[in-house]
Amino acid sequence: MRIVMVLSMSLFLLGSLGRWGDTRATENPVKPTAESVMPVVRFGISADDHLIGGRTPGHLSFTQNFVKAMQQWQPDFVIDLGDFACQCAEGQTTPQLHDCQLEYLKLHWALFSSVPCPAYIVIGNHDVGWIEGGDEVTEPEDLYRRSHSGEDITKAEFLAVTKMPGRYYSFDVKGYHFIVLDGNNKPRAEDQPDHDGVCGHYAIDEAQRAWLAQDLATNRGKMKVVFCHEELHHTPPEGSGEGGDVPFPPVGKEVSHVGNGWQVREMLAADGKVIACFFGHKHRNRWTVYGGVNYITLAAEHYGGSYAKVAISHSLHKLSIRGRGNQCGYTLPLPAAVGE
Protein backbone atom coordinates (compact mmCIF):
# COMPACT_ATOMS: atom_id res chain seq x y z
CA MET A 1 0.00 0.00 0.00
CA ARG A 2 1.32 3.40 -0.97
CA ILE A 3 2.42 5.56 1.98
CA VAL A 4 0.92 9.03 1.77
CA MET A 5 1.28 12.24 3.72
CA VAL A 6 -1.49 13.14 6.14
CA LEU A 7 -3.59 16.00 4.84
CA SER A 8 -5.61 17.70 7.57
CA MET A 9 -7.79 20.37 6.11
CA SER A 10 -11.07 22.09 6.72
CA LEU A 11 -13.80 22.36 4.12
CA PHE A 12 -13.34 26.01 3.26
CA LEU A 13 -9.98 25.21 1.60
CA LEU A 14 -11.58 23.14 -1.15
CA GLY A 15 -11.17 26.03 -3.57
CA SER A 16 -7.47 26.34 -2.89
CA LEU A 17 -6.66 22.67 -3.40
CA GLY A 18 -5.57 21.83 -6.90
CA ARG A 19 -4.30 18.96 -8.91
CA TRP A 20 -2.15 16.12 -7.68
CA GLY A 21 0.69 17.27 -5.48
CA ASP A 22 -0.96 20.21 -3.69
CA THR A 23 -0.28 19.60 0.02
CA ARG A 24 -1.46 22.83 1.65
CA ALA A 25 -3.14 22.29 5.01
CA THR A 26 -5.13 24.27 7.55
CA GLU A 27 -4.23 25.03 11.16
CA ASN A 28 -7.20 22.98 12.40
CA PRO A 29 -6.50 19.26 12.02
CA VAL A 30 -9.41 16.85 11.86
CA LYS A 31 -9.98 15.20 15.21
CA PRO A 32 -9.68 11.41 15.16
CA THR A 33 -12.89 9.45 15.68
CA ALA A 34 -13.91 5.82 15.89
CA GLU A 35 -14.28 5.92 12.10
CA SER A 36 -10.54 6.59 11.79
CA VAL A 37 -9.82 2.87 11.86
CA MET A 38 -11.86 2.33 8.68
CA PRO A 39 -9.78 0.73 5.93
CA VAL A 40 -8.83 2.48 2.73
CA VAL A 41 -11.24 1.72 -0.11
CA ARG A 42 -9.83 1.63 -3.64
CA PHE A 43 -11.60 1.50 -6.98
CA GLY A 44 -10.79 1.82 -10.65
CA ILE A 45 -13.00 4.12 -12.68
CA SER A 46 -13.41 4.69 -16.42
CA ALA A 47 -15.90 6.51 -18.62
CA ASP A 48 -16.93 6.78 -22.24
CA ASP A 49 -15.13 3.77 -23.68
CA HIS A 50 -17.19 4.24 -26.88
CA LEU A 51 -16.80 0.67 -28.03
CA ILE A 52 -18.75 1.03 -31.26
CA GLY A 53 -19.45 -2.45 -32.57
CA GLY A 54 -16.27 -3.90 -34.05
CA ARG A 55 -15.28 -0.61 -35.67
CA THR A 56 -13.10 0.86 -32.90
CA PRO A 57 -10.07 -1.40 -32.28
CA GLY A 58 -8.18 1.54 -30.78
CA HIS A 59 -10.91 2.12 -28.22
CA LEU A 60 -10.99 -1.59 -27.44
CA SER A 61 -7.26 -1.60 -26.77
CA PHE A 62 -7.75 1.15 -24.17
CA THR A 63 -10.38 -0.96 -22.39
CA GLN A 64 -8.07 -3.97 -22.52
CA ASN A 65 -5.30 -1.85 -20.97
CA PHE A 66 -7.66 -0.74 -18.18
CA VAL A 67 -8.57 -4.34 -17.41
CA LYS A 68 -4.91 -5.35 -17.31
CA ALA A 69 -4.08 -2.44 -15.00
CA MET A 70 -6.90 -3.41 -12.63
CA GLN A 71 -5.81 -7.05 -12.64
CA GLN A 72 -2.41 -5.87 -11.40
CA TRP A 73 -3.69 -3.22 -8.95
CA GLN A 74 -6.49 -5.40 -7.53
CA PRO A 75 -8.90 -2.72 -6.29
CA ASP A 76 -12.01 -3.38 -4.22
CA PHE A 77 -14.16 -2.83 -7.32
CA VAL A 78 -14.21 -1.20 -10.74
CA ILE A 79 -16.92 0.96 -12.27
CA ASP A 80 -17.55 2.39 -15.73
CA LEU A 81 -19.51 5.65 -15.96
CA GLY A 82 -21.37 4.80 -19.15
CA ASP A 83 -21.31 5.21 -22.91
CA PHE A 84 -19.63 1.84 -22.82
CA ALA A 85 -20.79 -0.30 -25.76
CA CYS A 86 -22.40 2.32 -27.98
CA GLN A 87 -24.62 2.07 -31.04
CA CYS A 88 -23.14 0.32 -34.07
CA ALA A 89 -24.22 3.06 -36.49
CA GLU A 90 -26.25 6.27 -36.59
CA GLY A 91 -29.89 6.46 -37.57
CA GLN A 92 -33.33 5.25 -36.55
CA THR A 93 -33.25 1.99 -34.60
CA THR A 94 -33.73 -1.14 -36.72
CA PRO A 95 -33.65 -4.82 -35.73
CA GLN A 96 -30.16 -5.01 -37.23
CA LEU A 97 -28.85 -2.05 -35.21
CA HIS A 98 -30.53 -3.40 -32.10
CA ASP A 99 -29.00 -6.86 -32.46
CA CYS A 100 -25.56 -5.43 -33.22
CA GLN A 101 -25.45 -3.21 -30.14
CA LEU A 102 -26.75 -5.98 -27.90
CA GLU A 103 -24.25 -8.59 -29.12
CA TYR A 104 -21.27 -6.24 -28.77
CA LEU A 105 -22.42 -5.22 -25.30
CA LYS A 106 -22.27 -8.89 -24.30
CA LEU A 107 -18.78 -9.24 -25.78
CA HIS A 108 -17.34 -6.07 -24.28
CA TRP A 109 -18.96 -6.51 -20.86
CA ALA A 110 -17.40 -9.97 -20.64
CA LEU A 111 -14.02 -8.26 -21.07
CA PHE A 112 -14.63 -5.46 -18.57
CA SER A 113 -16.09 -7.75 -15.92
CA SER A 114 -13.15 -10.18 -16.16
CA VAL A 115 -11.34 -8.16 -13.49
CA PRO A 116 -10.75 -10.05 -10.20
CA CYS A 117 -13.24 -7.91 -8.24
CA PRO A 118 -16.86 -6.75 -8.52
CA ALA A 119 -17.58 -4.74 -11.68
CA TYR A 120 -20.30 -2.07 -11.84
CA ILE A 121 -21.57 0.19 -14.59
CA VAL A 122 -23.64 3.36 -14.96
CA ILE A 123 -26.10 3.72 -17.86
CA GLY A 124 -24.94 6.29 -20.42
CA ASN A 125 -27.02 8.04 -23.06
CA HIS A 126 -25.32 6.03 -25.85
CA ASP A 127 -25.87 2.73 -24.04
CA VAL A 128 -29.67 2.52 -24.30
CA GLY A 129 -32.78 3.99 -25.93
CA TRP A 130 -35.75 5.45 -24.07
CA ILE A 131 -38.97 7.33 -24.84
CA GLU A 132 -39.70 9.33 -21.69
CA GLY A 133 -37.49 7.50 -19.20
CA GLY A 134 -38.39 6.86 -15.60
CA ASP A 135 -39.92 3.46 -14.95
CA GLU A 136 -41.46 3.09 -18.41
CA VAL A 137 -41.49 -0.43 -19.87
CA THR A 138 -39.94 -0.30 -23.33
CA GLU A 139 -39.64 -3.12 -25.83
CA PRO A 140 -37.24 -3.16 -28.80
CA GLU A 141 -40.25 -2.75 -31.10
CA ASP A 142 -41.00 0.60 -29.43
CA LEU A 143 -37.56 1.82 -30.50
CA TYR A 144 -38.14 0.63 -34.08
CA ARG A 145 -41.50 2.38 -34.47
CA ARG A 146 -40.90 5.86 -33.11
CA SER A 147 -38.39 8.61 -32.54
CA HIS A 148 -36.65 8.31 -29.20
CA SER A 149 -33.70 9.45 -27.14
CA GLY A 150 -30.52 7.42 -26.85
CA GLU A 151 -29.69 4.42 -28.97
CA ASP A 152 -30.79 0.92 -29.97
CA ILE A 153 -31.36 -1.39 -26.97
CA THR A 154 -33.64 -0.99 -23.96
CA LYS A 155 -32.59 -0.31 -20.39
CA ALA A 156 -33.98 -3.72 -19.41
CA GLU A 157 -31.73 -5.43 -21.97
CA PHE A 158 -28.71 -3.48 -20.78
CA LEU A 159 -29.37 -4.51 -17.17
CA ALA A 160 -29.90 -8.14 -18.16
CA VAL A 161 -26.47 -8.32 -19.82
CA THR A 162 -24.52 -6.42 -17.16
CA LYS A 163 -26.47 -7.99 -14.26
CA MET A 164 -26.84 -4.66 -12.50
CA PRO A 165 -29.64 -4.61 -9.89
CA GLY A 166 -31.49 -1.71 -11.52
CA ARG A 167 -31.11 1.45 -13.54
CA TYR A 168 -30.19 3.10 -10.23
CA TYR A 169 -28.88 1.25 -7.21
CA SER A 170 -26.44 1.38 -4.30
CA PHE A 171 -23.89 -0.90 -2.68
CA ASP A 172 -21.50 -0.93 0.28
CA VAL A 173 -17.76 -1.63 0.33
CA LYS A 174 -15.70 -1.60 3.54
CA GLY A 175 -18.26 0.58 5.31
CA TYR A 176 -18.51 3.16 2.52
CA HIS A 177 -21.77 3.63 0.60
CA PHE A 178 -21.79 4.00 -3.20
CA ILE A 179 -24.78 5.29 -5.17
CA VAL A 180 -25.40 4.90 -8.92
CA LEU A 181 -27.91 7.20 -10.64
CA ASP A 182 -29.66 7.11 -14.03
CA GLY A 183 -29.78 10.51 -15.72
CA ASN A 184 -31.29 9.21 -18.96
CA ASN A 185 -34.77 10.63 -18.54
CA LYS A 186 -36.66 13.54 -20.05
CA PRO A 187 -36.86 16.66 -17.87
CA ARG A 188 -40.15 18.15 -16.65
CA ALA A 189 -40.81 21.90 -16.60
CA GLU A 190 -41.93 21.75 -12.96
CA ASP A 191 -38.44 20.54 -11.95
CA GLN A 192 -36.88 23.78 -13.24
CA PRO A 193 -34.32 22.25 -15.60
CA ASP A 194 -32.99 25.76 -16.34
CA HIS A 195 -32.17 26.38 -12.65
CA ASP A 196 -28.41 26.55 -13.33
CA GLY A 197 -28.83 29.10 -16.13
CA VAL A 198 -28.96 26.67 -19.06
CA CYS A 199 -31.86 24.23 -19.57
CA GLY A 200 -30.52 20.70 -19.20
CA HIS A 201 -31.74 17.94 -21.52
CA TYR A 202 -31.54 15.12 -18.95
CA ALA A 203 -33.23 14.50 -15.59
CA ILE A 204 -33.31 12.46 -12.41
CA ASP A 205 -36.96 11.37 -12.39
CA GLU A 206 -39.31 11.71 -9.42
CA ALA A 207 -39.32 8.01 -8.49
CA GLN A 208 -35.55 7.96 -8.51
CA ARG A 209 -35.32 11.07 -6.31
CA ALA A 210 -37.70 9.48 -3.81
CA TRP A 211 -35.54 6.35 -3.74
CA LEU A 212 -32.41 8.49 -3.30
CA ALA A 213 -33.92 10.35 -0.35
CA GLN A 214 -34.72 7.04 1.34
CA ASP A 215 -31.31 5.57 0.53
CA LEU A 216 -29.52 8.59 2.01
CA ALA A 217 -31.67 8.44 5.14
CA THR A 218 -31.12 4.72 5.62
CA ASN A 219 -27.36 5.15 5.30
CA ARG A 220 -27.10 8.47 7.13
CA GLY A 221 -23.92 7.69 9.05
CA LYS A 222 -21.90 6.30 6.14
CA MET A 223 -19.46 8.14 3.90
CA LYS A 224 -20.81 8.16 0.36
CA VAL A 225 -19.74 8.45 -3.27
CA VAL A 226 -22.19 9.06 -6.14
CA PHE A 227 -21.85 8.05 -9.80
CA CYS A 228 -23.90 9.37 -12.75
CA HIS A 229 -23.12 9.51 -16.46
CA GLU A 230 -24.30 13.08 -17.04
CA GLU A 231 -23.15 15.96 -14.83
CA LEU A 232 -25.58 17.08 -12.12
CA HIS A 233 -24.71 20.71 -12.76
CA HIS A 234 -24.12 23.41 -15.33
CA THR A 235 -21.14 25.45 -14.18
CA PRO A 236 -20.02 28.67 -15.94
CA PRO A 237 -16.34 29.36 -16.71
CA GLU A 238 -15.98 31.45 -13.54
CA GLY A 239 -16.73 28.30 -11.52
CA SER A 240 -19.17 27.55 -8.74
CA GLY A 241 -17.62 30.03 -6.31
CA GLU A 242 -17.06 27.19 -3.84
CA GLY A 243 -13.89 25.63 -5.24
CA GLY A 244 -12.68 23.51 -8.11
CA ASP A 245 -11.18 24.42 -11.47
CA VAL A 246 -11.18 28.15 -12.22
CA PRO A 247 -11.68 28.84 -15.00
CA PHE A 248 -14.05 25.89 -15.26
CA PRO A 249 -13.19 24.57 -18.73
CA PRO A 250 -16.17 24.68 -21.15
CA VAL A 251 -16.44 21.66 -23.44
CA GLY A 252 -19.50 22.47 -25.58
CA LYS A 253 -23.10 21.24 -25.57
CA GLU A 254 -23.99 23.24 -22.48
CA VAL A 255 -27.53 21.79 -22.48
CA SER A 256 -26.10 18.28 -22.10
CA HIS A 257 -26.42 17.93 -18.32
CA VAL A 258 -29.05 16.92 -15.75
CA GLY A 259 -31.34 19.95 -15.68
CA ASN A 260 -32.76 19.19 -12.24
CA GLY A 261 -29.40 18.16 -10.88
CA TRP A 262 -29.71 21.10 -8.48
CA GLN A 263 -32.40 19.12 -6.62
CA VAL A 264 -30.01 16.21 -6.18
CA ARG A 265 -27.15 18.51 -5.17
CA GLU A 266 -29.29 19.93 -2.37
CA MET A 267 -29.98 16.40 -1.10
CA LEU A 268 -26.30 15.46 -1.18
CA ALA A 269 -25.19 18.66 0.56
CA ALA A 270 -27.80 18.18 3.29
CA ASP A 271 -26.58 14.64 3.91
CA GLY A 272 -23.14 15.96 4.88
CA LYS A 273 -21.39 12.63 4.28
CA VAL A 274 -21.05 12.70 0.49
CA ILE A 275 -17.40 12.81 -0.48
CA ALA A 276 -17.69 13.16 -4.26
CA CYS A 277 -19.79 12.66 -7.37
CA PHE A 278 -18.11 11.22 -10.48
CA PHE A 279 -19.37 11.77 -14.04
CA GLY A 280 -18.45 10.99 -17.63
CA HIS A 281 -20.29 12.27 -20.73
CA LYS A 282 -18.29 15.45 -21.36
CA HIS A 283 -15.13 13.55 -22.40
CA ARG A 284 -12.82 16.08 -20.71
CA ASN A 285 -11.64 16.22 -17.11
CA ARG A 286 -12.96 18.99 -14.86
CA TRP A 287 -13.71 19.53 -11.16
CA THR A 288 -16.06 21.80 -9.24
CA VAL A 289 -17.58 22.01 -5.76
CA TYR A 290 -21.18 22.57 -4.60
CA GLY A 291 -22.32 22.42 -0.99
CA GLY A 292 -19.01 20.97 0.13
CA VAL A 293 -19.25 18.04 -2.31
CA ASN A 294 -16.62 17.45 -5.02
CA TYR A 295 -18.07 17.02 -8.53
CA ILE A 296 -15.47 15.42 -10.79
CA THR A 297 -15.88 14.72 -14.51
CA LEU A 298 -13.54 12.11 -15.96
CA ALA A 299 -11.72 12.31 -19.27
CA ALA A 300 -13.09 9.75 -21.73
CA GLU A 301 -11.26 6.45 -21.89
CA HIS A 302 -11.36 6.59 -25.69
CA TYR A 303 -9.54 9.95 -25.36
CA GLY A 304 -5.99 8.71 -24.94
CA GLY A 305 -6.72 5.73 -22.70
CA SER A 306 -7.85 7.88 -19.78
CA TYR A 307 -9.01 6.42 -16.45
CA ALA A 308 -8.30 6.83 -12.75
CA LYS A 309 -7.31 4.89 -9.66
CA VAL A 310 -9.22 6.26 -6.67
CA ALA A 311 -8.47 5.73 -2.98
CA ILE A 312 -10.44 7.07 -0.01
CA SER A 313 -8.72 7.16 3.37
CA HIS A 314 -10.78 8.24 6.37
CA SER A 315 -7.78 8.15 8.70
CA LEU A 316 -5.88 10.50 6.38
CA HIS A 317 -9.04 12.50 5.64
CA LYS A 318 -8.23 12.31 1.97
CA LEU A 319 -9.64 11.46 -1.46
CA SER A 320 -6.81 10.55 -3.84
CA ILE A 321 -7.32 10.34 -7.59
CA ARG A 322 -4.45 9.06 -9.72
CA GLY A 323 -5.15 9.88 -13.33
CA ARG A 324 -3.91 8.07 -16.42
CA GLY A 325 -3.91 9.27 -20.02
CA ASN A 326 -5.61 12.68 -20.14
CA GLN A 327 -7.18 12.32 -16.69
CA CYS A 328 -5.76 14.71 -14.08
CA GLY A 329 -4.84 13.61 -10.59
CA TYR A 330 -6.21 15.25 -7.44
CA THR A 331 -5.73 15.09 -3.70
CA LEU A 332 -8.85 16.44 -1.99
CA PRO A 333 -10.00 16.61 1.63
CA LEU A 334 -13.07 14.76 2.79
CA PRO A 335 -16.10 16.85 3.80
CA ALA A 336 -15.80 18.32 7.30
CA ALA A 337 -18.89 16.42 8.48
CA VAL A 338 -17.22 13.10 7.69
CA GLY A 339 -15.00 13.50 10.74
CA GLU A 340 -17.88 14.32 13.08
pLDDT tens for residues 234-285?
999 999 999 999 999 999 889 999 999 999 999 999 999 999 999 999 999 9
Average pLDDT, the chain: 89
The answer to the question of residue 4 being in a domain is no
315 torsion bin: left (phi>0), alpha (psi -120 to 50), beta (else): alpha
pLDDT tens readout for residues 143-198: 999 999 999 999 999 999 999 999 999 999 999 999 999 999 999 999 999 999 99
pLDDT, average across residues 289-294? 96
- In this structure, are residues 99 and 157 in contact, taking their beta carbons and an 8 Å threshold? no
The answer to the question of residue 172 being in a domain is yes
pLDDT tens readout for residues 27-58: 334 444 444 467 899 999 999 999 998 888 89
190: helix, strand or coil: helix
The answer to the question of residue 160 being in a domain is yes
Q: How confident is the model at residue 5 (pLDDT cuts 50, 70, 90)?
A: very low
> Which CATH number fits the domain that encloses residue 268?
3.60.21.10
Distance, in Å, from the CA atom of 42 to the CA atom of 309, rounded to the nearest integer, reads 7
Our count of domains for the chain comes to: 1
Helix (H) or strand (E) holding 72, with range, is helix 57-73
Give the dihedral of Cα atoms 242, 245, 249, 255; nearest 10 deg: -30
The answer to the question of residue 246 being in a domain is yes
The answer to the question of residue 112 being in a domain is yes
CA distances, 283 to each of 19, 66, 126, 244, 292 (Å)? 18, 17, 13, 18, 24
Residue 71 has pLDDT above 60, yes or no: yes
Q: How confident is the model at residue 338 (pLDDT cuts 50, 70, 90)?
A: low
The answer to the question of residue 272 being in a domain is yes
The pLDDT value given to residue 316: 85
Distance, in Å, from the CA atom of 194 to the CA atom of 259, rounded to the nearest integer, reads 6
The length of the chain is 340
The answer to the question of residue 6 being in a domain is no
The answer to the question of residue 2 being in a domain is no
Residue 149 structural domain = 11-339
The pLDDT value given to residue 252: 84
Q: Does 12 or 328 have the greater pLDDT score?
A: 328
Q: How confident is the model at residue 13 (pLDDT cuts 50, 70, 90)?
A: very low
Query: If we measure between CA atoms, which residue out of 22, 231, 29 comes closest to residue 125?
Result: 231
Residues near 1 by beta carbon (within 8 Å), at least 6 away in sequence:
40
The pLDDT value given to residue 28: 39
Neighbours of 188 (CB within 10 A): 15
